[in-house]
Structure 1
Amino acid sequence: MSKIINDPVHGFLSFPEKEVLTIVNHPWFQRLRNIMQMGVAHFVYPGAVHTRFLHSLGACHLMGKALEELQEKGFGITTQDSTDARLAILLHDIGHGPFSHALEHSLLEGIGHEQVSSVIIDRINQQHNGMLDGAMKIFGSQHPKRFLHQLVSSQLDVDRLDYLSRDSFYSGVSEGVIGYDRILKMLTIRNNELAVEEKGIYSVEKFIIARHIMYWQVYLHKTVLGAELLLVNILRRAKELSMRGVQLPATPALSYFLNNTISLEQLKQDPGVIDRFCRLDDSDIVTAIKTWMDAEDPVLARLCYMHRNRSLYKVVLDHEREDELYDQKLAVARREIGCTEEELHYFVFRGTTSNSTYNAVDSRIMIAMKDGSLRNIAEMKDSLVNEHIAHKVTKRYLCFWQPKS
């Protein structure tokens, strides 16, 4: 039974495959309805409250369009290939925890959402008698048609095409608007690898520039960064207290992860870990923070109050006199907050944030020239994808609590 969903970004999304609908209706996929795509970006861009669920549906839709184009060009995309690839991209974010990237590694230390996704996909595959065998091969880059994996995960995959379009739409940042339709039209295959026809180069350049702008204007905006770090510190403090034996009110699933340190091997071997993880979403964290505002621990209570009342950390990037400013803010926190020296790092701390818009060496975007040759887009004459764009940018930040005047 086919299903049509109305999406504000792409219009009507069609899901004719029973396998895809089986996944969409799975409780672990439905959980993504309650996980914000952009974490805490709504503190700066109030409209950015869309979900991983909608993004995953949109990416699945774009995968279908990409495969239709390649099939029309005679690249032998079978019905099974299409179903498997759509399943793979549909499930690519199923391992995200609450608030997406903001809390990655907070509840499962050292374990990324991609690893969690692999374990969850394997579990669902067992539940459905191997229905995801092909999708798992694509997801793990083991499928003989390598370009299918590149459509799921590369520097020009349908995941990025959807999230740039979607995040730009909901945040209202027009600089992120890309011509994804034209990029999909220009896709081709050379030597079993994904490439873009030469006449699509300008659309790809705009895509890369738009991604660069979105990262520094939205995803790594200093206030968004401050809100994310505050959320991370709340969970860090809660876990620190829980591991000391302090009983904090929380949902059963959240309590489990606050009181246990999980290894990757345990994640893979113990079914109960994934069962508990898949009960977590943003509401567990929001409810806990509202409750912990009244915690006996003054550090946790203050951090939660700051989050609930948008009294966020102040963030300064690449300050010329960072050491001097750090000492000043440390003195203020020491005087005003009254916490111990060991607890001051929750209110004044330093770190780095970085982004690489385009990696000119790894997983390159290849342009299929009219003369039959293949060229890295960064090596094209007069390309906008120059050394500055391809270079990884790292910025130091100073993050601190500041009393209201």
Structure 2
Amino acid sequence: MNTANKLKIFNDPIYGFITIPNELIFDLIEHKYFQRLRRISQMGLSYLVYPGAHHTRFHHAIGCMHLMQKAVQVLRFKGVEISEDEEKALLAAILLHDIGHGPFSHAMEHSIVNGISHEHISLKFMEALNAEFNGSLTLAIQIFKGDYHRKFMYQLISGQLDMDRVDYLKRDSFYTGVSEGNINSERIISMLNVVDDSLVVEEKGIYSVEKFLVARRLMYWQVFLHKTSLAAEQLLIRILQRAKQLHHGGKKLHASTALQFFLDNEIGKNDFTDEILEIFSRLDDVDILSAMKEWQYNEDFVLSNLCKILLNRDLLKIKIKKKPIKEKKITEHINEFTNKYKVTEEDARYFVFSGLIENQAYYLDKQNIHILMKSRKIVDVAKASDQFNLKALSKPVTKYYMCYPKK
């Protein structure tokens, strides 16, 4: 193929025109593993609350790559040496950082497979692609794992002010219409620098970082942990749990070949071979949605009703409290449900359940955001800021929820 044809342009609603910088990136984007991200929702089931939130992991990955291009340009301008190979590796690593997400992104992260994070699966995909691309991703994998000696490169991919967070906050706020999450990504990137091989933000950029952290906190409460999205995602998890339970009990359910495999088999970290990676790569939102459309007519009371509730958006009621939910309250709802529908307590617990959510916008103990003061002193953003809020944002806030059917 002609090289010129590989330097294509995307028209992105957030950043405008995004250019594909090299052949490797073009070939990675063209690969079926990456194209699969077009069929995986960036925000799970948030579109049930925010109708515009139908953007995908594909959008997000391309956006992150664009921001990484900008960050490399800024750092080079400030005298930070970044070789062409390092730049290519940084772009490939951020492009592929989320390639391991399963259907509906975080909603089903530990449902399809057991105890395997999407980061681990992303690494497996990168290793498979590296073999296919004759070792072109070796350096990208080193940076992604944090093994490369230049620490700031890992921070650009996985830190508290990485290109991933900078993109998803701006992108998710745009597609949901929640303006509180809209950050100034250009300003943040233009203020980046490197001191002693560690990423820092110049003092002039402190207010942009403050806005970034406040926006992160607000987006978590208002969007990512929105109670309706939370109830919907818990239903989705329980649908797959019930499907697996029925399947293992000998009842065959109609599903795609890939989903059927994961219903048949309990796959843990040690079982995740290259063959299973290939089957996982065939899974996306479509498999789950089409299965639910079939399962809503299943004879099993629990499975069919869970699917109907979610497909028709006739969701469970959810209450969020600052204190743990009393077991007595849960028992009351369970008894009410079992009496009304003549089902077992075990079945009722698919519809009545509790849990907790946590929100911590800034962590003081890992990958801190450092501010480079005019005096050349380096200070943690929580200490450098005159906003009392930032110290409060570093404390985890835990809330407790209970879901139960509407009257």
What is the TM-score of this pair, normalised by structure 1? 0.97
Shift of 1:381: 4.9
Structure 2: stretches of 5+ with no match in the other structure? 1-5
1:6 is aligned to 2:8: no
Q: What amino acid does structure 2 have at the position aligned with 1:124?
A: L
- Which residue of the partner structure matches residue 329 of structure 2? 325
CA contact (8 A) 2:143 2:154 kept: yes
- Which residue of the partner structure matches residue 367 of structure 1? 371
| In 2: Cα distance, 1:185 partner to 1:384 partner | 25
| In 2: Cα distance, 1:129 partner to 1:141 partner | 22
| In 1: Cα distance, 2:385 partner to 2:372 partner | 14
1:212 is aligned, of 205, 213, 217, to 217
| In 1: Cα distance, 2:33 partner to 2:190 partner | 33
- Which residue of the partner structure matches residue 120 of structure 1? 125
The residue matched to 1:108 in structure 2 has which SS?
coil
| In 1: Cα distance, 2:338 partner to 2:277 partner | 41
| In 2: Cα distance, 1:17 partner to 1:328 partner | 61
| In 2: Cα distance, 1:115 partner to 1:321 partner | 32
- Which residue of the partner structure matches residue 315 of structure 1? 318
Change over 3 Å in CA distance of 1:327–1:121 after alignment to 2: same
Shift of 1:260: 0.5
2:404 is aligned, of 384, 400, 404, to 400
Identity %: 45
Deviations 1:172-224 (A, max 9, x none): 00000001100000000011000000010000000000000000000001111
* Number of equivalenced pairs: 401
- Which residue of the partner structure matches residue 30 of structure 1? 35
- Which residue of the partner structure matches residue 305 of structure 2? 302
Deviations 1:67-118 (A, max 9, x none): 1000011101111111110000000000000000011100011111001111
Q: What amino acid does structure 2 have at the position aligned with 1:265?
A: N
1:60 is aligned to 2:26: no
| In 1: Cα distance, 2:385 partner to 2:113 partner | 45
Change over 3 Å in CA distance of 1:69–1:388 after alignment to 2: same
Q: CA RMSD in A?
A: 1.2
- Which residue of the partner structure matches residue 81 of structure 1? 86
The residue matched to 1:346 in structure 2 has which SS?
coil
Q: What amino acid does structure 2 have at the position aligned with 1:334?
A: T
CA contact (8 A) 1:208 1:385 kept: no
Q: What amino acid does structure 2 have at the position aligned with 1:278?
A: S
Shift of 1:336: 2.2
Shift of 1:383: 2.9
| In 2: Cα distance, 1:377 partner to 1:350 partner | 36
Deviations 1:315-357 (A, max 9, x none): 1111779435323322321122322122111011111111211
2:293 is aligned, of 275, 290, 299, to 290
| In 2: Cα distance, 1:319 partner to 1:62 partner | 38
CA contact (8 A) 2:125 2:277 kept: yes
| In 1: Cα distance, 2:118 partner to 2:207 partner | 32
Shift of 1:13: 0.4
Structure 1: stretches of 5+ with no match in the other structure? none
Change over 3 Å in CA distance of 1:375–1:320 after alignment to 2: closer
CA contact (8 A) 1:108 1:261 kept: yes
2:282 is aligned, of 279, 282, 286, to 279
- Which residue of the partner structure matches residue 387 of structure 2? 383
What is the TM-score of this pair, normalised by structure 2? 0.96
